[in-house]
Amino acid sequence: MPTTEFDISLPSIRQMQNLIKQAAPTELKLITGDIITGRILWQDQYCVCLVDENSEQTTVWKQAIAYIKAK
């Protein structure tokens, strides 16, 4: 995976931080076609971790994200 900056002032990073703070239901579409839904627990340069209503966690690689939507 490539070196990355994780700049909290970027709108896209901030938007995700807001989704984490609000525990907002979120939908992630992946380039595989998979849709992962849940609340975002954390993000770093490489990954975004979601938890669904059954408390199951999925760690999604950012490289595989096509788009993200608050539901």
Q: Which residues bind its own copies (CB under 8 A)?
A: 1-5, 10-13, 15, 29-34, 36, 42, 44-47, 49, 56-70
Question: Which secondary structure element, helix H or strand E, spans residue 21, and what is its range?
Answer: helix 11-22
Q: Which is nearer to its own copies, 15 or 23 (CB)?
A: 15
Q: Report the half-sphere exposure of 34 (CA within 13 A, side-chain side).
A: 9
Question: Which secondary structure element, helix H or strand E, spans residue 28, and what is its range?
Answer: strand 25-30
Q: Which is nearer to its own copies, 18 or 23 (CB)?
A: 18
Shortest distance (Å) from residue 59 CB to its own copies: 5
**C-alpha distance from residue 64 to each of 11, 28, 39, 68 (Å):** 19, 10, 18, 11
Shortest distance (Å) from residue 46 CB to its own copies: 5
Shortest distance (Å) from residue 60 CB to its own copies: 5
